[in-house]
Amino acid sequence: MAEAIVTVEGLRVRYALADEPALEGVRLEVEPGEFCGVTGPHGAGKSTLAYALMGLLPHVMRADVEGRVRVAGRDPIAEGAARLAGDVALCLQNPYNQISGARDTVYDEIAFGLENLGLPPDEIRARVDEALARFGLEAVAEENPFACSGGQVQRLAIASAWVMRPRVLILDEPTSQLDPHGAREVEAAVEAARRQGMAVIVIEHRAEWLAARADRLLVLRAGRPVAAGPARRLYGAAELQEEDLPRPVYTRVARRVAELGAELGGGGTEPWPLTEDEAVGQLRPVVSRRAAGSAGDARSAGTAGAAGGADDAAAARPGRAATAGAAPAGSPSLLIDDVHFAYEPGRPVIRGISTEIRGPGVTALIGRNGGGKSTLLRLLLGLVRPDRGRVVVDGLDTARATVAQVARRLAMAFQNPDDQLFLGTVLDEAMYGAKNIGRPPEAARASAVAALEALGLAGMAGRHPYDLGFGLRKLVTVAAAVAMETPILVLDEPTMAQDEPSLRRLAALVRRLAESGRHVLLVTHHMEFAAQVAERVLVLSGGRILADGAPEDVFRREDVLAAAGVEAPAALRLARRLGLAASPVTPEGLCSAIMGS
Amino acid sequence: METRSIWSLRLTTFMIALIPVAVAVNYVGKAIAAALKLPLWLDSIGTVLAAMLGGPVVGALSGAINNIFYGLTADPVSFWYAITSIFIGLAAGYFAYTGWVQSTGRAIALGLVVALVSAVVSTPINVILWQGTTGNAWGDALFTALRIHEVPVWLASFLDEFVVDLPDKVITVFVAYLVFRGLPQRLVAQAGARRVQGGR
Amino acid sequence: MRAPSLYVPGRSFVHRADPLTKAAWAFSTALAGFIVPDWRATAALLVLNLTLLGLAGALRRTARLILASAVLVATFFVAQGLSHPSNAEPLFRVFGLTFYREGLLVAWVLALRLWNTIAAIGVLVFTVRPQDLVTALLMRGLSPRAGYALVSIIQVLPTLSASVATILDAQRSRGVETEGGLRVRLRALLPMLAPLIMSALAAAQDRAVALEVRGFSRPGPRTILRPVRDMAGAAFWRAVGLGVLVAAVLWRALGG
């Protein structure tokens, strides 16, 4: 066994002014070249661990720190971050905040750390050129960092850290603020960094990435270690809850299929599948056995399976019945009638959109960034008015209304929570919009408390939003929009930076809102979430609606998805690889389809 | 924890990172005041806030760098007034660190002090450079009326500057105080500022 | 939004001069404009600086700045023309107010000094990227921390400005009124500014971490990857600039 490059024993951290320790009893060993995942729900102390390893505690952030920490042969708690530079590197969540601001091109930004090390100019140039190539940044070398995409900037941050040749690289939720395309870019960058023999510690919620890449995992909950060890063993450990360690879709489907009595490929001797390839390997035998078993009426069975899969998925969602019939009087309605819009003449952003939402339910709006989604949302909010056509929100034409009037009918949680949070407590934030649109303070408070509770934030009502992590701040703004109790609710990327328990609470809340007569419009890159809660999917690309229909129908259309730059949900991709005739979009639907095949 | 003198010149990296933010807030505060059509400049909220957070040295640096940057990128005349900005930062930082941002009343008093300091420091600059006028129509109308009645140039110029600074700096300091009061405790502690616990 | 900038790209003689030489020239001639006892000398300096700006192709931008100072200049003429203590010879009357020759002449001198300030410093700011000026100062021993505080504004300011529009959208959508009486607009100030400042401060905390990771606080010498070289004969030209200032002071002290 190689010598560990990171050793943590009995780490305990309590921030100044805090009553409870943020971290207690943490043990960790990481070897050179290893990918160590750190995961667990919000408030688990994951970031605190990163700060401790980087030497920010107590040198930059005031805290009591106990325990033994060794990173790359250094003692971060005694030495502090400034002296660790070059041996240890940390990249935080928000890519743009990682840019030093000291230099105005990508090239010079990467060189900045090397200038601080006092290296000779020739060596700096050689190292920067190597970093540009390794992280795929040559094309933007002369661009201003702030003009780059989120994925590029996060890669730039990693490249700028990597170029210092640290032996340990720590990444705190590096993909949580990126779209799937940007996330994949960062995943590739991490692999590139790791090939050099660097130990990489990644704090992450997304099971798919950790399951596919991590050698080792540390699972934390509320500041305490829940489990630690080789990733494959932990993903297979039945006693570990999904809330603490969410499993990838592939693992969940295989497990469910086995529970339903099917014998997986490998005869049950292989560990649970962690990647799409492994899942295909283990599930294909099930599918072929089932198909062979019912060879006599394969045709009709296949058809039944397809229908069954779709029906099961639909049955899991609410609102379908309500939208199928005529909308009851007074129920939410949104009419977008031949809307055109351009910020500058001759450069249209919205090119003739017509659609209607009637009655309660959940609609997902998907499509790549730059496809017109944000502009469409601004039109719905009445922040801009259509050049042609009308937007009618619950009977109110936005062209003849003030933004405040529209706000009484349609509330929205914006993508970046930090664009709106400013009050001293979570509760004040949650009731602010409700009070502004004229609801009595007591009613506003009651709705805010209920919304916070539904999202698991009840215990944090008195905290300062900025003392919470990004994911929790995001939930606060969702709660604030929900508390406005408008007929229509728009949530822009609500799943961003969320842990497994919050994803479940969000899904349950969205469903319940639809059942109680409201319509939720979900703007998301998270296709699994969309497939799970929405009964209708709108695909927006190039300022037009490319597709509109049930998730099963829309996600099946590969041409549409490709044009809009989105991927089908993992369940559907797996079904395709398994050669199933059905088009299930949720893990449940996929299980039924496999068992029915 | 060691106590730092408020005049300490050792600046943490966070304080260094605070200075460009303070200058940017000065710029943007001015833009927002204009967007809301408020009859105020509000172009030193960042300097005052940096002073509240980091003390007089950070406040003074923010003020100086603000005017140097503004002089380089927008209005060359701004260089001459760097001295005023430095004193605004020093005054706000000194009084904030000695307990003047603990209540609304004291914050307004601090606003008056900052307005006074600003006017006192600007007056010699205005007199030496422009023989007393400030370029603000209302203030200069007052200046002219006073001068016709043979009020000394120093007093007339001081009043010219002060009538403009008074509402502007009082509101600037008050807005900075409201923001400062609403900041998360952890951030305030990191900057090294003191703030009364639970002060409302 | 892009960072504010007065820099006009170019390859002229003035552009090629190094930043510190131009800084010495700019501040010396700007100050000299105030010190010389005869307004014709200020006018001569103004013409000289305008010539340099013409060579640099920045005359139009200079004119824009001079126009922007019109209010200030107008107050010189009104205030001094009506109330300067040396006023003796009435020149004309407008709306019952008498303007005097002496005061108007004082205002004319003030205007020349203002315009010369703009033109002199313009020679520096129109032809130097602020980054290069800071690099030149770093090479002369400016602390890297001070240099960072100045130069990073160029990167930080546009990010802050860009979020203003989004914050405005988000808060209006939560029912914050931004139009109406003065009181309504004053009340909108905090919901607009506070999110901006809080997120900017949180970003500054993150950026401080990023700086530490890049060895910003490490002691020891730094490399300057893109050094700024002095122009040929820099010492001579700096001496010429300072000579103008010294001459102005001597003239004032001995003659004037």
CB count within 10 Å of CB A123 equals 12
Separation CA B123–CA B117 (nearest Å)? 10
Does the CB of B200 have a partner CB in chain C at under 8 Å? Answer: no
Of C163, C212, C220, Cβ closest to residue A419: C163
Distance from CA of B116 to the nearest CA of A (A): 30
Determine how β-strand A361-366 pairs with β-strand A519-523: parallel
Whether the pLDDT of residue A1 is over 80: the answer is no
What is Dmax (Cα atoms) for chain A? 76
Phi, psi of C222 (to 5 degrees): -110, 155
Determine how β-strand A361-366 pairs with β-strand A388-393: unpaired
- Mean pLDDT confidence for A32-56: 95
Interface of B with A (CB under 8 A): 1, 12-14, 20, 181-187, 189-190
Whether the pLDDT of residue A311 is over 80: the answer is no
Distance from CA of A238 to the nearest CA of B (A): 39
**pLDDT at position B7:** 78
Residue given tokens 């006892």 in the structure block = C37
C neighbour chains, 3+ CB pairs within 8 Å: A, B
H, E, C per residue of A279-314: HHHHHHHHHHHHHHHCHHHHHHHHHHHHHHHHHHHH
Contact A3, A71 (CB under 8 A): no
Phi, psi of A523 (to 5 degrees): -100, 120
Cβ-based contacts of B184 with chain C (< 8 Å): 198
Cα A497 to chain centroid, rounded: 5
Query: Which amino acid is it at C140?
Result: R
Does the CB of A139 have a partner CB in chain B at under 8 Å? Answer: no
| Residue C218, in any domain of the structure | no
Does the CB of B36 have a partner CB in chain C at under 8 Å? Answer: yes
Determine how β-strand A388-393 pairs with β-strand A396-397: antiparallel
Of B182, B184, B189, Cβ closest to residue A62: B189
3-state SS class at A557: coil
Cβ-based contacts of A421 with chain C (< 8 Å): 195, 198-199
Distance from CA of A229 to the nearest CA of C (A): 28
Query: Exposure pattern of A477-509 as b/e (b: 16+ CB <10 Å)?
Result: bbbbbbbbbbbbbbbbbbbbbbbbbbbbbbbeb
pLDDT tens-place string over residues A426-458: 999 999 999 999 999 999 999 999 999 999 999
Interface test with B, best of C121, C197, C211 (most B CBs within 10 A): C197
Structure tokens at C205: 């905390």
pLDDT tens-place string over residues A221-259: 999 999 999 999 999 998 999 999 999 999 999 999 999
- C144 with C25, same domain? no
Query: Exposure pattern of A229-242 as b/e (b: 16+ CB <10 Å)?
Result: eebbebbeeeebee
Of A60, A62, A466, Cβ closest to residue B184: A466
Determine, for residues C189 and B33 on separate chains, whether the beta-carbon distance falls below 8 Å.
yes
Q: Which of A185-194, B156-165, C2-11 is the most confident on average?
A: B156-165
3-state SS class at C1: coil
- Mean pLDDT confidence for A405-409: 95
Interface test with C, best of A403, A437, A490 (most C CBs within 10 A): A403
pLDDT tens-place string over residues A552-565: 999 999 999 999 99
What does the radius of gyration of chain C's CA atoms come to, in whole angstroms?
24
What is the number of domains present in chain C? 2
Contact A428, A452 (CB under 8 A): no
Determine, for residues A466 and C198 on separate chains, whether the beta-carbon distance falls below 8 Å.
yes
Cβ-based contacts of C160 with chain B (< 8 Å): 21, 24-25, 27-28
Determine, for residues A422 and C225 on separate chains, whether the beta-carbon distance falls below 8 Å.
no
- C64 with C124, same domain? yes
Contact A357, A519 (CB under 8 A): yes
Cβ-based contacts of A90 with chain C (< 8 Å): 209, 213
Whether the pLDDT of residue A301 is over 80: the answer is no
Of B1, B182, B190, Cβ closest to residue A61: B190
What does the radius of gyration of chain B's CA atoms come to, in whole angstroms?
17
H, E, C per residue of A377-438: HHHHCCCCCCCEEEEEECCEEHHHCCHHHHHCCEEEECCCHHHCCCCCCHHHHHHHHHHHCC
Determine, for residues C172 and A89 on separate chains, whether the beta-carbon distance falls below 8 Å.
no
Q: Work out how many CB contacts closer than 8 A connect B with C.
A: 197
Q: Please determine, for the modelled complex, whether the ipTM score is greater than 0.95.
A: no
Q: pLDDT band at residue A282, thresholds of 50, 70 and 90?
A: very high
Separation CA A529–CA A547 (nearest Å)? 18
Give the helix/strand (H/E) hosting A463. Answer: none
Contact A158, A169 (CB under 8 A): yes
Strand stretches in C65-176, DSSP E: 90-94, 97-100
| Residue C252, in any domain of the structure | no
- C31 with C106, same domain? yes
Whether the pLDDT of residue A289 is over 80: the answer is yes
Cα B172 to chain centroid, rounded: 7
Whether the pLDDT of residue C208 is over 60: the answer is yes
- Would you mind telling me the total number of residues written for chain C in this entry? 256
Does the CB of A116 have a partner CB in chain B at under 8 Å? Answer: no
Domain ranges of chain A: 6-236, 331-566
- Would you mind telling me the total number of residues written for chain A in this entry? 597
Which domain range does residue C163 map to?
Answer: 139-213
| Residue C206, in any domain of the structure | yes
Of A60, A423, A467, Cβ closest to residue B182: A423
Give the helix/strand (H/E) hosting A259. Answer: helix A249-259
Separation CA C229–CA C239 (nearest Å)? 18
Q: What is the DSSP letter of C87?
A: -
Query: Which amino acid is it at A38?
Result: V
Q: Is A456 left (phi over 0), alpha (psi -120 to 50) or beta?
A: left
What is the crossing angle of helices C101-125 and C59-68, to 10°?
140
3-state SS class at C86: coil
For A27-36, A38-47, A91-100, A328-337, which range has the lowest pLDDT when averaged over its residues? A328-337
H, E, C per residue of A6-30: EEEEEEEEEECCCCCCCEEEEEEEE
Of B28, B72, B135, Cβ closest to residue C164: B28
Structure tokens at A255: 């497990």
pLDDT tens-place string over residues A534-555: 999 999 999 999 999 999 999 9
What are the Cα distances from residue A224, in Å, to A20, A62, A337? 12, 20, 54
Cα A76 to chain centroid, rounded: 31
**pLDDT at position A438:** 94
3-state SS class at A450: helix
Question: Nearest CA to C195 among A480, B86, B196, A268?
Answer: A480
Contact A98, C210 (CB under 8 A): yes
Does the CB of B102 have a partner CB in chain C at under 8 Å? Answer: no
* Mean pLDDT score of chain C: 93
What are the Cα distances from residue A99, in Å, to A201, A431, A436? 20, 34, 36
For residue C130, give the chain B residue with the closest CA: B72
Separation CA A89–CA A381 (nearest Å)? 42
Separation CA A432–CA B113 (nearest Å)? 33
Q: Is A496 left (phi over 0), alpha (psi -120 to 50) or beta?
A: beta
The answer to whether the peptide bond before residue A58 is cis (omega within 30 degrees of 0) is: yes
Phi, psi of C219 (to 5 degrees): -70, 170
Cβ-based contacts of C2 with chain A (< 8 Å): none
CATH code for residues A6-236:
3.40.50.300
Distance from CA of A468 to the nearest CA of B (A): 10
Query: Which amino acid is it at A165?
Result: R
Whether the pLDDT of residue C241 is over 60: the answer is yes
**pLDDT at position B6:** 77
Q: Which residue has the higher pLDDT, A317 or A96?
A: A96
pLDDT tens-place string over residues C59-114: 999 999 999 999 999 999 999 999 999 999 999 999 889 999 999 999 999 999 99
Separation CA A546–CA A554 (nearest Å)? 10
CATH code for residues B13-191:
1.10.1760.20
Determine, for residues A98 and C206 on separate chains, whether the beta-carbon distance falls below 8 Å.
yes
For residue C200, give the chain B residue with the closest CA: B21
Q: Which residue has the higher pLDDT, A182 or A294?
A: A182
Separation CA A377–CA A498 (nearest Å)? 22
| Residue C57, in any domain of the structure | yes
Cβ-based contacts of B49 with chain C (< 8 Å): 197
DSSP string for residues in A62-117:
-EEEEEEEEETTB-HHHH-HHHHBTTEEEE-S-GGGGS-SS-SSHHHHHHHHHHHH
Separation CA A301–CA A582 (nearest Å)? 11
Q: Which residue has the higher pLDDT, C239 or B7?
A: C239
- C120 with C25, same domain? yes
First to last CA, chain C: 49
Phi, psi of C255 (to 5 degrees): -110, -115
3-state SS class at A540: strand
Separation CA A231–CA A208 (nearest Å)? 12
Question: Nearest CA to A555 among A334, A323, A309, A283?
Answer: A309
Domain ranges of chain B: 13-191
Separation CA A561–CA A551 (nearest Å)? 12
Question: Nearest CA to B122 among B152, B179, B163?
Answer: B163
Q: pLDDT band at residue A317, thresholds of 50, 70 and 90?
A: low
| Residue C254, in any domain of the structure | no
Residue given tokens 């249209």 in the structure block = A348
Give percent above pLDDT 70 in chain B: 94
Instruction: Give the architecture (CATH level 2) of A331-566.
Output: 3-Layer(aba) Sandwich (3.40)
Strand stretches in A466-563, DSSP E: 488-492, 519-523, 536-541, 544-549
**pLDDT at position B1:** 40
What are the Cα distances from residue A164, in Å, to A69, A113, A228? 22, 7, 29
For residue B199, give the chain A residue with the closest CA: A424
Distance from CA of C65 to the nearest CA of A (A): 26
Separation CA C78–CA B191 (nearest Å)? 47
For residue C153, give the chain B residue with the closest CA: B20
Q: Which residue has the higher pLDDT, B3 or C86?
A: C86
Determine, for residues B13 and A62 on separate chains, whether the beta-carbon distance falls below 8 Å.
no
Cβ-based contacts of B187 with chain A (< 8 Å): 466
Residue given tokens 């400042």 in the structure block = C197
Cα A520 to chain centroid, rounded: 19
Question: Nearest CA to C193 among A462, A322, B43?
Answer: B43
Phi, psi of A168 (to 5 degrees): -130, 130
For residue A439, give the chain C residue with the closest CA: C175
Of C196, C198, C205, Cβ closest to residue B14: C205
Whether the pLDDT of residue A324 is over 50: the answer is no
Of C174, C202, C218, Cβ closest to residue A420: C174
